Amino acid sequence: MKRIFKTTVFTLLIATSVLMGSCTTEDLNPSLEQNKEGSEAIITSADLEGILKGAYNRMTSFEYYGRDYIVTNEVRTPNTWANGRSGRFTTESTFAYNPNGQYIWDNAYAVIASANIILDTDIETLEDFSMNGDYAKHLQGQAYAIRALAHFDLLKVYGQQHVDGGSNLGVPYLLEFKGGDGIPPRGTIADNKTQLFADVQTAFQFMSDDYFDSSKQFISKYTAKALESRMAVWFEMWEVARDASLAVINSDLYAIISADQFVSSFASDGPQNSIFELGFDSTDNEGINGLEFIYRGASYGDISVTPNAFNTLYEEGDVRTDVLGTEKVGSNVRLRNLGKYPERSSNVTLFRYEEVILNMAEAQLNLGEPTMALMYLNMIPSNRNAKAYTEATITTILKERRKEFLFEGLYYWDLQRLRMDIVEIDSEQNINATIPYGDFRRIHPIPRAELDANSNIVQNPGY
């Protein structure tokens, strides 16, 4: 699987100080000298493209979408458990977090910094603007979408929307790559929400279908709409979720993957159900720190499937069970994910068309259209050799989402937004008691380094 992202000297010159090291206030507010150097180095649209590729590359880090963000979410649900083979994810699986760890904070803000370099650029001053102005604007559209995605990830991880005793605090929403001595405070959840939707809507407007990338490794107009759909479901904005989902559906660019291609699609580049994916190849990947090694194999293989998830979720014949299998490690036989992220070179899909369809089903249900909701809901099992549902409810939609996106890190956020407890349903789980909705452990602490560097940052309750 050929990876499209190459590190250039130009990208390193501009962004090394932003994309390396811990993310304290120094990263949230890059220096004036860095800003000056970056702006002076951007001469053509190719320079903007280089920075954009650097942002995508940062997203592939094992400390972000290359592993940790996906697995930390997955291991906190009843789907999987951390077996302790290499000691990875055992603390996260018990809802205990290292206060000195950065988790996704530094990586997400590094991605945001790169996006802001692009957005701070006056593209009309580029040497090739007369020839490539539309393309430069398209690149800025991708940067708007990337900025929204990274801030949305941060908001879900650190925001206080679903915590008892919390206030209305979200995360610092950074709109500029700038210098000065400013130490940004946390924005409110309402302000974060307003800016998130402003960014994705601008992203859609700026991007052009003329530059649609069939590899799916660059964000398109319809990635922005898929992100808007996901965000609207999170914020329970059902009309927005419906309309954004419909924009993706009506594009006719994507389709639900068929049952006979379901398993193989996870080893394919840019399958028909992929809206946006991060690229890896046999030489440019996260190696032993990637998703393949944490889900299977004798080296790490720390993440096992709870028997309950296998025994109760799927009916006989459902093709989704084909991604599951057992591995013997020493004297232990573990139920594992063998089909998703099958190789270190496998691309990581961030947005699948099936999610948009299920977002549409949930939106229709909440808008008082149960018949339409059922129609969209049953589009998934009809392509999985599974029985159709007779009724669309929150319960059936959630069940289908859990079945469809097992191992992909989405189910934890479903439990959060639907205000559900994390229940021990299997003895293998790493918790020994229910983690109720609203418990402070359902979100992460603000990293200690950020608190030490930024007096305007307020810690989350309980930490």
166 domain residue, yes or no = yes
Q: Are residues 28 and 164 both part of a single domain?
A: yes
pLDDT at 11 over 70: no
**Domain membership of residue 267 as a residue range:** 214-428
54 and 136 assigned to the same domain: yes
Q: Give mean pLDDT, residues 240-262.
A: 99
**What three-state secondary structure class fits 205?**
helix
Contact 355, 343 (CB under 8 A): no
* pLDDT band, residue 351 (cuts 50/70/90): very high
Is residue 332 pLDDT above 80, yes or no?
yes
71 domain-assigned: no
pLDDT of residue 34 exceeding 80, the answer is no
Residue 53 falls inside a structural domain: yes
Residue 265 has pLDDT above 90, yes or no: yes
What mean pLDDT is reported for the chain? Answer: 91
- Output the DSSP codes for 94-122: TT---TT--TTHHHHHHHHHHHHHHHTS-
Average pLDDT over residues 429-439: 95
Looking at residue 328, its pLDDT comes to 86
Judge if 405 and 269 occupy the same domain: yes
Whether residue 254 has pLDDT greater than 50? yes
Crossing angle for the helix pair 370-378 and 394-404, to the nearest 10 degrees: 20
Question: How confident is the model at residue 232, as a pLDDT?
Answer: 99
DSSP classification of residue 304: E
Residues 308 and 336 in one domain: yes
Same domain, 354 and 286: yes
Lowest mean pLDDT among 30-34, 175-179, 225-229, 361-365: 30-34
What is the rounded average pLDDT of the residues 115-139?
Answer: 98
Per the listing, tokens 């601008």 go with 202
- Please tell me the predicted confidence (pLDDT) of residue 310: 82
Contact 66, 404 (CB under 8 A): no
426 versus 291: the higher-pLDDT residue is 291
Are the C-beta atoms of 66 and 60 separated by less than 8 Å?
Answer: yes
As a whole number, mean pLDDT of residues 358-375 equals: 99
Looking at residues 119-148, what average pLDDT do you find? 98
Q: Which residues, including other chains, have CB under 8 Å from residue 463's CB and lie 6 or more apart?
A: 99, 440, 445, 446
* 442 and 328 together in one domain: no
pLDDT higher than 80, residue 137: yes
190 and 44 inside one domain: yes
Output the pLDDT for position 131: 98
Measured distance CA(80)–CA(323) in Å, rounded:
14
What CATH number is associated with residue 389?
1.25.40.390
Residue range 188-228, pLDDT digits in tens = 999 999 999 999 999 999 999 999 999 999 999 999 999 99
Per-residue pLDDT, averaged over 384-407, amounts to: 98
Is residue 420 in a domain?
yes
pLDDT at 14: 40
Which pLDDT does position 182 carry in this prediction?
A: 63
Confidence of residue 38 (pLDDT cuts 50, 70, 90): low
pLDDT at 426: 85
pLDDT at 448: 95
Nearest-angstrom CA–CA distance, 320 and 315: 10
The helix-helix angle for 189-206 and 221-234 (nearest 10°) equals: 160
Has residue 99 been placed in a domain? no
Question: Band of the pLDDT at 25, cuts 50, 70, 90?
Answer: very low
Q: How confident is the model at residue 5 (pLDDT cuts 50, 70, 90)?
A: very low
Q: Is residue 337 part of a domain?
A: yes
The pLDDT assigned to 396 comes to 99
Comparing 37-46, 102-111, 154-163, 380-389, the range with the smallest average pLDDT is 37-46
pLDDT at 99: 84
Residues 359 and 456 in one domain: no
Looking at the structure, do residues 178 and 283 belong to the same domain, yes or no? no
pLDDT value at 28 more than 90: no
Which of 162-166, 282-286, 334-338 is predicted with the least confidence, judged by mean pLDDT?
282-286
Can you tell me the mean pLDDT for 342-358? 97
Q: Are residues 184 and 321 in the same domain?
A: no
**How many structural domains are present in the chain?**
2
Do residues 126 and 204 both lie within one domain? yes
3, 6, 12, 18: CA torsion to nearest 10: -20
Question: What do you get for the CA distance between the two ends of the chain, in Å?
Answer: 42
> Are 295 and 443 in the same domain?
no
Residue 264 is assigned to a structural domain of this protein: yes
> Does some domain include residue 314?
yes
Q: Which of residues 277 and 24 earns the better pLDDT score?
A: 277
